Amino acid sequence: MKTQRGAFELLKADRGNNRPLLSIPLTSTGYLIKDLKDAVSGSAVIYECPIQSNLDITPNVAIRGGETVYSECVGCQKMIPILEMKEHM
């Protein structure tokens, strides 16, 4: 996110089966901890999304030592390759 120079938005997963990502409202003073706590209940995952450009998601980003990097899906708890997570969601 350093390359974004602060131009990003925060998102949270909505309730339901598909769990679409919803934007967390940004105030004129930026994101404050109090506002984030109000926007998400309990423990939740907050996603960062760049506004001015796309992040580099070429396969080299998701490969360590020649192995694909996986992450657990919050919806189905299956291990999904990071490069396929957006399509999976």
pLDDT of 54 strictly over 80: no
> pLDDT of 6-53, one tens digit each?
578 888 887 766 778 888 888 777 788 888 888 887 777 788 887 766
- Band (60; pLDDT cuts 50, 70, 90): very low
pLDDT of 65 strictly over 60: no
Task: List phi, psi (to 5°) of 38.
Answer: -70, -35
CA-to-CA distance for 69 and 62, rounded, in angstroms? 5
DSSP H helices in 1-89? 33-39, 85-88
Residue 64 has a pLDDT of: 55
Residue 5 has a pLDDT of: 60
The full set of domain ranges for the chain reads 1-55, 56-89
pLDDT of 61 strictly over 50: no
